[in-house]
Chain A
Amino acid sequence: MRRVTTRPELGALGGTVFVFVFFALVAGDRGFLTVDGTINYLEVAAELGILATAVTLLAIGGEFDLSVGSMIGAAGVVMALAVVQLGWPLWLSVVAMFAFAGVVGAGNGYLVVRTGLPSFIVTLAGLFVLRGVTIAITRASTGATEVTGVTDNAPPVIVSLFAGKVGPVPASILWWIALTVVASWVLARTQLGNWIYGTGGDPMAARNMGVPVARVKIILFVLTAMAAALVAAIQVLSTNSADVLRGELKEFQAITATVIGGTLLTGGYGSAIGAAFGALIFGMVSQGIFFTGIDADWFQAFLGAMLLLAVFVNHFTRKRALAGR
């Protein structure tokens, strides 16, 4: 029983049930419980969840990435410019976009492990630099801050890989579920997963035990940037346009989902399922609030309160986990 009560995602599971029941009761007859209403909040949760899964792995590994929001804008523009300006085929542009994200992520990771500076600062710089460069280059090369017509001549196969639907279910939701499953598997059952916990739990101790801490961190930064690129692909191919301001504030939303999910920002403790619950809560609250008739202005206040509550619950859970046998 103790084992169950000390799982990191337990608080988030409770929160998810609470939020769902709340909106089902308050707004159940106004569309929250319909298929459309469900898909609606799941889609919001999915985009955030993809990001939060990677941000959670990185947080368990003991690091932050504040540049993921800017990366969504940058990656989208890279893909769009490759198609529209350079005339590249869509598949090649998608590959180029992921390569670009991977290189930037590796750069973030390399800077953090080499300088030993807090990743909070390094990636805060990344947040501004990436956004600034994206806006400047896009405006200089197109005269606008939005690049449209990305899917005009694109093969539908690649578009539907990111923006298609299976029945009523958008691809983004399937990507989110798949990533959550894979990340949970990695953490629970693989060597890399154990190394991630060790790296975040105590980098010096992990290194002394032979874990390649620097390599683990760089891999996590690469994955985080690639997750942002995946979100960019979903957004750009769904809307047929890339906007330089895409992804603003997503870095903080992803950290919110991570923390609500029970992951410790100081590293070494957390779960990918928890992040999925965190994203789900975010999605349900942000969309559910429209169904209730409550002024949507209250959304952020509600989210902040959720965050604080989650931190209290998680703090208590962790203390229990470390309490004597």
Chain B
Amino acid sequence: MNRDDVALEARGVSKHFLGVSALTDVSLTVRRAGVTCLLGDNGAGKSTLIKILSGVHAPDSGELLVDGQKAQFKSPRHALDHGISTVYQDLAMIPLMPVARNFFLGRELNIGKLIWRRVDWLRAEEITIRELDRVGIHLRDANQPVGTLSGGERQSVAIARAMYFGASVLILDEPTSALGVKEAAIVLRLVRAARDQGLAILLITHNAAHAHAVGDDFVVLQRGRVLARLRREDAKRAELQDLMAGGVDMAALTGTSGPIGLDA
């Protein structure tokens, strides 16, 4: 792998909570114009790792590199300033707030000076409608609450927002886990589109089929350690599934070749 392609890297990252080890010596690279899938069962340390990568937690040891430069994130905002945008499963949107207000939350378009300083909501609404149009969501009114959108649409809005605000690294936390088959397919298509625009994407999932559908690289975590690293050409869906389950043969358990879901 060409080092210049790496947008975000974790080197030997460890993290403890109250003496319990959550991550031990985890290394990971996220390539530009690539989708890196982070897989693992519940409790494998996926959430802890993305919280470190997105500036919510600081690692106890190890280091983070953005575009090859060492970086220490003091807050999610700080990580955002480094171009790292994280879309959380349930926390991507605020349901009671209008779509446009969600889209620009934390990055409002201010105009005017001093006491007359205000947000240009008309322009914000125009941009919101335009940007969502590009990801296949056709809003009539950018003032409708986000709660009126479906789960897949909310994820799409969050991804569109990250892209609009110039994210170079997109971390997606279980974007498809609460979605039906059709909705998941829409989100995965958008993930692919974002990759094709050159974004570095880290996709967290415990659905091997979804990972296999869009992933270029795969990292499997187990009990806070990296269990396996695979390139797309080496990874089979059933194999990913087995690795995630900690070597248990899912096929033997279920009698089928894999989970029902999206076909790659």
CA distance in complex: A215, B153 (Å): 31
Instruction: Return chain A residues, CB-CB under 8 Å to B107.
Output: 209-210
Instruction: Return chain B residues, CB-CB under 8 Å to A209.
Output: 76, 105-107
Check B104–A269 contact: CB distance below 8 A. no
Q: How large is the interface on A (under 10, 10 to 19, 20 to 34, 35 or more residues)?
A: 20 to 34
Chain B 117-166 interface residues, beta-carbon cutoff 8 Å to A = 117-119, 121, 140-141, 143-145, 147-148
Instruction: Return chain B residues, CB-CB under 8 Å to A194.
Output: 101, 104-105, 108, 119
Identify which of B86, B119, B147 contacts A191 (C-beta below 8 A).
B119
Given known pairs A189-B119, A209-B106, the reply for A197 and B76 (CB within 8 Å) is no
Beyond A206-B106, A207-B76, A322-B147, 17 additional pairs, beta carbon < 8 A: A3-B141, A189-B121, A191-B110, A193-B119, A194-B105, A197-B101, A198-B94, A198-B105, A204-B88, A206-B94, A206-B105, A210-B77, A212-B77, A268-B94, A322-B96, A325-B144, A325-B148
Check A210–B80 contact: CB distance below 8 A. yes
CA distance in complex: A318, B96 (Å): 9
Instruction: Return chain A residues, CB-CB under 8 Å to B86.
Output: 208
Q: Which of B94, B95, B108, B110 has the most CB of A within 10 A?
A: B94
- Contact sample, A vs B, 24 pairs, CB 8 Å cutoff: A190-B118, A191-B108, A191-B117, A191-B119, A193-B119, A194-B101, A194-B104, A194-B108, A195-B106, A197-B101, A198-B97, A198-B101, A202-B91, A204-B91, A205-B88, A208-B54, A208-B56, A208-B76, A208-B86, A208-B91, A210-B77, A318-B96, A321-B147, A322-B148
Q: Does A323 contact B (CB under 8 A)?
A: yes
Instruction: Return chain B residues, CB-CB under 8 Å to A31.
Output: none
| A198 and chain B: residue at smallest CB distance | B105
Q: Which residues of B contact A (CB under 8 A)?
A: 54, 56, 76-77, 80, 86, 88, 91-97, 101, 104-108, 110, 117-119, 121, 140-141, 143-145, 147-148
Q: Does A211 contact B (CB under 8 A)?
A: yes
Min Cβ gap B234→A in Å is 34
Chain A 175-199 interface residues, beta-carbon cutoff 8 Å to B = 189-191, 193-195, 197-198
Instruction: Return chain B residues, CB-CB under 8 Å to A321.
Output: 96, 145, 147
Q: Which residues of A contact B (CB under 8 A)?
A: 3, 189-191, 193-195, 197-198, 201-202, 204-212, 264, 268-269, 318, 321-325
CA distance in complex: A191, B97 (Å): 14
Instruction: Return chain B residues, CB-CB under 8 Å to A210.
Output: 76-77, 80, 106-107
Given known pairs A191-B119, A321-B145, A322-B145, the reply for A268 and B96 (CB within 8 Å) is yes
Instruction: Return chain B residues, CB-CB under 8 Å to A207.
Output: 76
CA distance in complex: A193, B119 (Å): 10
| A268 and chain B: residue at smallest CB distance | B96
Instruction: Return chain B residues, CB-CB under 8 Å to A197.
Output: 94, 96-97, 101
CA distance in complex: A325, B117 (Å): 33
CA distance in complex: A198, B105 (Å): 7
Min Cβ gap A260→B in Å is 19
